Chain A
Amino acid sequence: MKFKSPAQHVFTVLNITFLVLTCLICILPFWHLLAISFSSGWAVKANKVTFFPIDFTLFAYGFAFKGGRFLSALWISVKRVLLGGTINMILIVLTAYPLSRSKAKFSFRNIYMIYFVITMIVNGGLIPTYLLVTRLGLLNSLWALVLPGALPVFSMIILMNFIRGLPEELEEAALIDGATPFTVLFRVILPLLAPSLATVGLFSIVGHWNDWFGGLIYMQNNMRYPLQTYLQTLLRTFEQIIRLAQGDYAQIIRIMDVRTGRAAQLFLGALPIMLIYPFLQKYFTTGLVLGSVKG
C-alpha cells in the first residue's frame, strides 16, 4: 500500500497543474487561430479577438472554398500523397526484403546496403537536384515531387530491421516447400508486416502531405501548387489571393480582414492531420520507439 506524504500530495497537485498549463500552451495558439477565423473583419483589425470569436461569421471559410484556390490545391496534395505514398511503400518493401537477408543467403547484400546508406550521408544538395529535375523535363509535374525521394532510406531500414525480427522458421519452411523469394515475400512476409508498414506508411503520407518546398520550386504555375505550397503563399501575399479571386476586392476586404481569411485557410489546412492523428497515434508512437530504443 502506498501512502502519500503531504509533500507528495503538494507535488502531485503542482505537477498536474504544470502539465495542464503546458497542454494549454500547445492548444491555445490554434484556439486563437480558430477564433480569428470565425470573427468579423472589424474586430480582428481592432485586435479585440482573443479566444472567442467576435461577431461570428463564416465568410472567411466561404471565401476559402469559393474564392481562393484552396480546393484545387487540396486535390493536388491528395493526388501527390496517393502517388508518392504508393511508390514509397512499394519500393520500401521490395528493397527491405532482400536487404534483410543475411550475407549467406544473399551474397551482394552488403554492397547494396552501402550503396543506399551512402545517400544518407552524402547528397548532391538542392541545386544539382533541381537542375537535374529540370533537365529531365519534370518541372510542373507531380513526378518532380514524387520521384526524387522515392526511396526513403531510413524508413526502409526500419522495415528491414522489422523483417529481420520475424522468425526464421517461417521463411525456411516456405523455401523447403519450393517457394521462390517473390512468393516468400508476398505470401509469407508481407501479411506479417502490418504494424511496421503502418508506421512507415504514415510517415510517408505525412511527409508528402506537409512538404511545401518541393511544390514551390518545381511548380512554376501556381494553379499546380499542392496544399502546403499554396498555404505558404498565403503567409505573405494574402492580399494578392483576394485580388485574384472572383468578386469585388474592396467589398471582400471590408468584411474579411487579411488575418481572418488567412486563419481560416490555415486552419482548414491543419484539419486533416488533426482529425486523423488521434486515431492513428499508436502507429506514430510505437514505430518510433521501436526504431529508436534498440541495441
Chain B
Amino acid sequence: MKSFSQKWNMQWQYHVMLIPAVALVFIFSYIPMYGLIIAFEKYNPAMGFHSPWVGFDNFKYLFSQPNFVQTIWNTFYIAFFKIIGGIIVPVFFSLLLNEVSNRSIKRIFQTIVYIPNFLSWVIIAGVFMDILSNTGILNQFLGFFGIAPISFLGEPKLFPWTMIVTDIWKTFGFGTVVYLASLTSIDPGLYEAAIVDGAGRWKQTVYITIPLLMPIITLMLILSLGNVLNAGFDQIYNLYSPIVYKTGDIIDTYVYRLGIQKAQYAFGTAVGMFKSVISGVLILLSYYLADRCVGYRVF
C-alpha cells in the first residue's frame, strides 16, 4: 500500500494541470449557477445576487402569462418534429447512399450535404429570408405552377414547419455521415447469406440493414432528448417576427426578449431556471437510457 506522501509525490502534478480549468469553470459555470438565486428575488442591480427574497412569486407571475405558456408548447412542438425529422431524413439518405457502389459519388455527396451544417445560422437565415420571401425565388417557382405566393415566414401556421424543414436541410448531412459509417461496418457476410436464401435487396434492407442500424438510431434519439427544450434559438431569432410569435416564439426567444432586451433579469432567470431544471432531468435520463439500452457511456 502506498503511503499518502508517496501518492502525493506522484500525483500533485495532475492537480496542478487541472488548476486552470477548475478555476475558470468555477467562475464561469458555478458562480452563475449560484446566480440562479435571482429567480427567487426581486432583482435590484445595486444589491446584485442578494436582492430581496420573493420566493416563487416570479414563477407564479410567469405561468400566469399565456404568452409564456404558449412558448412552452411551441418549443416542444418544434423540437419534437425536428428530432423526428432529424433522424428519418439522414437514415433515409444513408440507406440510399449505401446502395451506391461508386466511392467517389458517396464522398462528394457527403461533402456537399455536410457543408450547411458548418455555416452559422446568421448566414443561412440571410439566405432563406431572401428565398422564402413573398417575392423570393421559391414563390416565383411555385408561381410557374399557378400557385399563389405563400408566406413561409409570415404565416403562423406555416412558420414552425418552415423552421423544422430548414433546420433539417441544414443538419441532415451530419446524421447521414454517422449512419453511413455505421452501415459500412455491417458484415457483408450477412448480406451474402441472405442472397443465398433468395432475399432481394428490399428484404435485405428490412431484415438486415435496419435492425442493425437501430442501436445507433436509438442512441442518437436518446442523446437528442436533452436538447428537446432548445428548439433552435439561433435559427428562430433570426427568422421570426412578431406576427409569428404565437406559433414561433420558443422559450429561449422569450427569455431573450424579457430578460435581456427588457432587462427583467429576475423573470428571465426564472424562465431560464425552469428550462435548466427540466433539461437537466432529461439529460440525466438520456445518459441513463443510453447506458441501459445501447451500452453507451458518455463518461
Report A's interface with B, CB cutoff 8 A.
8, 11-12, 15-16, 18-19, 22-23, 25-27, 29-30, 32-33, 36, 47, 50, 90-91, 94-95, 97-99, 101, 105-108, 112-113, 115-117, 119-132, 135, 147-151, 156-157, 180-182, 185, 206, 209-213, 217, 228, 231-232, 234-235, 259, 262-263, 266, 269-270, 273-274, 277-278, 281, 284-285, 288-289, 292-295
Contacts and interface: CB of A to CB of B under 8 A. Distances in A.
A128 B269 contact: yes
Contact of B122 (A128, A232, A285): A232
Contact of A181 (B13, B137, B233): B13
Task: Identify which of A90, A112, A232 gathers the most chain B CB atoms within 10 Å of its CB.
Answer: A232
B57 interface: no
Contact of B17 (A16, A95, A135, A235): A95
B122 A235 contact: yes
Given A91-B24, A112-B22, 17 more contacts: A11-B201, A12-B100, A19-B109, A26-B116, A32-B130, A91-B20, A94-B17, A98-B17, A119-B25, A119-B29, A120-B283, A131-B32, A150-B24, A181-B17, A212-B120, A281-B114, A294-B297
A182 B110 CA distance: 41
Contact of A12 (B99, B115, B174, B273): B99
Contacts of A234: 126
Contacts of A126: 255-256, 259-260, 268, 272
A19 B33 CA distance: 47
Nearest to B120: A210
Contacts of A266: 123, 126-127
Interface stretch (B60-68, B73-81, B153-161, B177-185): B177-185
Contacts of A36: 130
Contacts of A293: 178, 181-182, 185, 216
The 10 closest A-B pairs by CB, nearest first: A124-B32, A128-B35, A125-B272, A210-B120, A98-B14, A128-B32, A295-B296, A181-B13, A119-B29, A95-B21
26 contacts: A15-B96, A16-B105, A19-B97, A22-B109, A94-B18, A95-B21, A98-B18, A113-B299, A117-B299, A119-B29, A123-B33, A125-B273, A131-B32, A132-B35, A151-B21, A182-B13, A185-B17, A212-B120, A213-B234, A232-B238, A263-B126, A281-B111, A289-B178, A292-B178, A292-B219, A293-B178
B284 A124 contact: no
Contacts of A18: 96
Nearest to B130: A259
Contacts of A107: 7, 11
A180 B13 contact: yes
Interface string B106-118: 0011111111101
Task: Identify which of B36, B105, B283, B299 gathers the most chain A CB atoms within 10 Å of its CB.
Answer: B299
Contact of B294 (A94, A181, A209, A295): A295
Contacts of A108: 11, 14-15
Given A108-B15, A129-B28, A294 B296 contact: yes
Contacts of A117: 299
Given A94-B20, A212-B122, A263-B130, A284 B29 contact: no
A152 B130 CA distance: 34
Contacts of A131: 32, 35, 38, 48-49, 265
B31 interface: yes
A186 to B, nearest CB: 11
Nearest to B271: A125
A26 B234 CA distance: 20
Contact of A285 (B49, B177, B295, B296): B177
Given A121-B280, A262-B126, A135 B295 contact: no
Interface in B271-295: 272-273, 275-276, 280, 283-284, 294-295
Task: Identify which of B15, B30, B35, B129 gathers the most chain A CB atoms within 10 Å of its CB.
Answer: B35
Given A25-B169, A277-B115, A284-B114, A289 B35 contact: no
Nearest to A148: B28
Contact of A125 (B116, B275, B294): B275
A97 B18 CA distance: 9
B276 A125 contact: yes
Interface string B46-57: 001100000000
B244 interface: no
